[in-house]
Amino acid sequence: TKMAMTTKTPLSAIVEAFEELSEFLECQMKDEELRLDKFCDACSLVSVLFSCLGLAFKFAEMEYVAKVHDLVEASKRFATLENVLDLDVAHDTVKKPGSHSRNLRRVRQGLDLIRALFEEFLSSEVYSLREAASTAYAQVCAPYHTWAIRTAVSAGMYTLPTREQLLLKLNETDHTAEKKMRRYIKASRPVIEYIDKLYISRNITLDW
């Protein structure tokens, strides 16, 4: 319909937000840092993808949304992602449950999970969403999750919508989704790398 053609789809909104972030990171002046509120705006849009996963992944969605919400709250006091890390480093709370730096690490995992999912999704036309999601999860999240969580996730995989159902929910076709997924993969990479560097440059390993 005409309406569908003129309304921005959720995937378009996500792609545009991450392209803006990655463009900023690519041409930033040395003294300009990524703003936390801007980062949160982009991350909030990704919640839509998690909400498309169905009831079995309600917990995953709530986890992601809760972590992003914590960072939105933090953005009222901290201007940049650097500021968040610096405070937690000073207080030795980077890995403390519930700390902003820990939640940032979780959100980063969510962004990377979607990147890996899209790569799997595009790697073959016959790939089911379940296969794509299982592979992406095994690569990005499983190494850091407890046995209980991993078990729940693998059971939940059987309840995922089909590839076609997901595209329908996102108001995309195979063709439109493919282009946007490629753009997200390209745009999210520098953002994820930037976040990793925040930790590494402060001598914090990423094995958690």
Residues that bind ligand 1PW (CB under 6 A): 49, 52-53, 57, 60, 63-64, 67, 97, 102, 106, 109, 113, 117, 133, 137, 141, 145, 149, 153
- The minimum distance between CB 113 and ligand 1PW, in angstroms, equals 6
Residue whose CB is less far from ligand 1PW, 25 or 192: 192
- The minimum distance between CB 201 and ligand 1PW, in angstroms, equals 22
From first CA to last CA, the distance across the chain in angstroms is: 46
Residue whose CB is less far from ligand 1PW, 117 or 187: 117
CA–CA distance, 136 with 199 (Å, rounded to integer): 23
Q: How far is CA 62 from the centre of its chain?
A: 13
Please give the residue whose beta carbon sits closest to ligand 1PW in the complex.
60
Residue whose CB is less far from ligand 1PW, 57 or 194: 57
- The minimum distance between CB 32 and ligand 1PW, in angstroms, equals 29
Q: What is the DSSP string of 12-32?
A: HHHHHHHHHHHHHHHS--TT-
Residue whose CB is less far from ligand 1PW, 51 or 83: 51
Phi, psi of 202 (to 5 degrees): -105, 20
- The minimum distance between CB 141 and ligand 1PW, in angstroms, equals 6
For residues 116, 117, 119, 125, the Cα torsion angle rounded to the nearest 10 degrees is 160
How many other C-beta atoms can be found within 10 angstroms of the C-beta atom of residue 149?
15
Residue whose CB is less far from ligand 1PW, 57 or 199: 57
Residue whose CB is less far from ligand 1PW, 24 or 153: 153
Q: How far is CA 117 from CA 15, 112, 201, in A?
A: 15, 8, 28
| Close Cβ partners of 56 (under 8 Å, ≥ 6 residues apart) | 155, 156, 159, 160
- The minimum distance between CB 24 and ligand 1PW, in angstroms, equals 25
- The minimum distance between CB 25 and ligand 1PW, in angstroms, equals 23
In this structure, what token pair is assigned to residue 38?
């801007």
Q: 185: part of which helix (H) or strand (E)?
A: helix 174-200
Q: Which residues of the chain form beta strands (DSSP E)?
A: none
